[in-house]
Amino acid sequence: MKKDEFYMTAAVENAKKAKGRTGVNPLVGCVIVKNGRIISEGYHEGPGSVHAEIMAINSSPESLRNSTLYVTLEPCSAWGRTPPCVETIEQIPFKRIVIGSLDPNPRENGRSVKRLRKKFRVDAGIMEDEAKALNPFFGHFIKSKTTYITAKAALTLDGSLTAPDSGSKYFTCAESRRRVHLERYKADAILVGSLTVNADDPILDCRLLKSDYAPVAVILDFSNRLDYSKSIVKDRKRRKMIFVSEKHRKKLKERDDVKYFFVKSRDDSWRIIKNDFQKENIISVFVEGGAGVFSGAFESGSVDELQIYYAPRFSPDGKGLRIKGRAGLSLELIEAKKTGRDLFARYRCSQD
C-alpha cells in the first residue's frame, strides 16, 4: 500500500470513532505524520466540538514543522460553531496537506484547497471513495436540507414478501443479509411499522458487521398497537422515536429512551421524517417495512432510493408487495449485482 493510502486509511478509521455522534455534521478523521510515523491523531466528536484537524494539531507532543497533515474532508474555511480550520492550519509550518475528499457544500467546495495551495503543497482526492463513504448522505442534506430515505425489500422472484416454505424467517442468503447490515450501518435511523415489530421482534442492529453501532429505531405506530414487551422497545439503551396518533397521547407515559411524535395523520409522520428530522440530528433513514409502511412512504413522495433483494425462489401463495406511489413517480436502475445466490437491485426514485 502506498504511504499516502496507508495514512489516509488511519485517518478514515479515526473518523469512524464518532459514528452515530456527529448528527448533521460529517464524520472527519485526521493524522499528522513526521519522519514516517504518526505523531498525532484527531477526529470530530460531534456538534460544537473541535474539528479533527484542530484536535490533532492541539494534541501533538512535538513540533509540527515539516510534518504532513492527512484529513478525510477538506478543512472548513467559514465560521460556524467553531473558527475556520484553514486559519489555524495556515499558521503551522506543514510540509504538505493531503485531503481525502472535497467538501460537498457549494460554499466550501475547493475553497480551502485553493487557499492552502498558496502556502503548502496540497494533494486532494487521496482515497476519495473511502473518504466519501464516511458520509454517504451529507452531500444530499447540504443541498436539499431533507432526510435521505432508502426503502429496502426482500422479494421472491414472483414478488412475494414471504416464503412460507423457507424453513426460516429469512429467505435471502447470508451475503444479502450482511449487505443489509452494511446499509443499516450507513444510516442514522432504521424505520419499521409496529406490526413488523410485533410479528418479528427485530433487533435492527449491525451485528453481522461485528459493530456496536445501533441506528436510532423509528417506529410508526399510528393506531397505538405496539407491543412494548418486544426486544427493541424494552432496550432502554437504544434511542427510539415512535409516531402515534394524537388521540392516543394520554395513554402513553414519557420515557427517557423514547421520543413520541403525536400526529394527526400518517402523512404528517412522513412530512416530519422528511423535512424536520435534522432537528433530531438524523439525515438518513433506512426503511425496512412492512408493506403498509412501504406504501405510505411512496405515497408521500418521500423515498429517494429503493433497494430490492431478489431471492431465487417462488412463493405463489405468499404476500405480495403492492406499492401505490404518487403520479409521476419514476425509478431508475443505478446498480444491479449478484449477492451470494440472490440478486440485488438499487433504484433512484424521482418525482416528475
Measured distance CA(84)–CA(87) in Å, rounded: 6
Measured distance CA(90)–CA(57) in Å, rounded: 12
Q: Which residue has the cell 393506531?
A: 223
CB neighbours of 160 closer than 8 A, spacing ≥ 6? 314, 315, 316, 318, 319, 320, 321
165 CA to centre of own chain:
34
242 forms bridges with which residues in the sheet?
A: 219, 260
- Helix (H/G/I), strand (E/B), else coil: 24: coil
**Using CA of residue 280, residue 129, residue 87, residue 34, what is the dihedral sign?**
positive
Measured distance CA(112)–CA(262) in Å, rounded: 44
Q: Which one, of 249, 268, 271, lies nearest residue 260 by Cα?
A: 249
Measured distance CA(253)–CA(98) in Å, rounded: 52
Residue type, 125: G
Measured distance CA(94)–CA(56) in Å, rounded: 13
Active-site residue flag, 254: no
Q: Of these residues, 53, 74, 108, 288, which one is catalytic? A: 53
Q: Which one, of 152, 132, 158, 183, lies nearest residue 349 by Cα?
A: 152
Other C-beta atoms closer than 10 Å to the C-beta of 23 total: 17
**Using CA of residue 167, residue 182, residue 261, residue 46, what is the dihedral sign?**
positive
> Which residue numbers are catalytic?
53
